[in-house]
Amino acid sequence: MTANRHDGALLSGELRLAGRLDARFFALLQAVHDTGSINRAARAAGFSYKGAWLLLETACNLAHETLLETATGGAGGGGTRLTPAALGLLQAWRQLESEHQAFLRTQEEKLARHPALHGLLRRMSMKTTARNQFAGIVGAVDIGPVSAEVTIALKSGDEITATMTAAAARRLKLKKGKEALALVKASAIVLVTDFAGWQLSARNQLAGTVSRIETGAVSSMVVVTLPGGSVITATVTNEGVEALGLKVGSPATAVFKAYSVMVATQA
């Protein structure tokens, strides 16, 4: 039982009653009804026994009505059950939650009538630990017997090349013109400030300007802004930052191998 949507929906919203009774509370209430035990209900709803009692007691105090009936011993073996007031509250929650979800679905249908906004939100809705996420269009696909190479053209004019298995490329249904996301971990990026006449084998080499440096205890996050306006972030040790003489305004090239790039597409 939840008031949030985690099924790839673009819209989500948390439903609360009285400012504090949320989905977790009602999951606990439902678990008490199902198990007849605070202890078992707490485990089922992901609470400690003490945490469950605290939440239920607080709700009872606010309600000014008894929500739980506890029996000890006897032929039924004791246990805890919901009072009519609690059952009514639980029923009201179910109805409100159903209407809340219907409202969110209706609003999302309205969003779908605005393709540009809908597409933008789709791209932004993906949650991943990869610091760098670039939206673009597949510019070229070369699928071999075992591996595949994909080039993604960014709106800034830059291109990112990714390699993957042929099976992955077919599963993603990659083809020229399809929207795609290129994801690259900051730790996979090497910054170069002077090639000194050498050439690197890495397919992706994006030149730009250092626009921000966030220094940590051991390493720093270095943000490089590309000429088209896109930004790419690299994790660099503090010693590396010092050795390269990196500072805001310094030219730098973000270098990363094609196999370090993950590609995502809409199903």
For the segment 177-235, what is each residue's pLDDT rounded down to a tens digit?
998 889 999 999 999 999 999 999 999 999 999 999 999 999 999 999 998 788 999 99
246 and 135 share one domain: yes
The CA-atom distances, in angstroms, between 196 and each of 193, 199, 200, 224 are 9, 9, 11, 20
Same domain? For 86 and 206 the reply is no
Range of the domain at 234: 126-264
Q: Do 195 and 81 share a domain, yes or no?
A: no
86 lies in the same domain as 191: no
> Would you say residue 131 has pLDDT above 50?
yes
More confident position, 212 or 64: 212
Token pair 């073996």 is found at 77
Q: Answer with the one of 63, 87, 115 that is the final residue of a domain.
A: 115
Tell me if 18 is assigned to some domain. no
Our measurement of the distance from residue 85's CA atom to the centroid of its chain's CA atoms, rounded to an integer in Å, reads 38
Report yes or no: 52 and 28 within 8 Å, Cβ to Cβ: yes
Residue with tokens 């945490």: 51
Task: Return the pLDDT at 102.
Answer: 87
Q: Are residues 52 and 133 in the same domain?
A: no
pLDDT of the residue at 2? 43
Chosen domain end from 60, 89, 115? 115
- Residue 192 and residue 111 in one domain: no
Count of the separate structural domains present in the chain: 2
DSSP 3: S
Instruction: Say how far apart CA 32 and CA 89 lie, in whole Å.
Output: 14
Contacting residues for 31 by C-beta, under 8 A, at least 6 apart: 40, 41, 42, 44, 45
Mean pLDDT taken over the chain: 85
Please indicate, yes or no, whether residues 191 and 169 belong to a single structural domain of this protein. Answer: yes
Same domain, 111 and 174: no
Cα separation, 171 vs 177, in Å, equals: 16
pTM of the model: 0.57
- Answer yes or no: is pLDDT of 6 > 50: no
Report the percent of the chain where pLDDT is more than 70.
86
Residue 216 C-alpha from the chain's centroid:
24
Tokens, residue 25: 């509370």
Residues 106 and 162 in one domain: no
Nearest to 84 by CA among 69, 74, 72, 95: 69
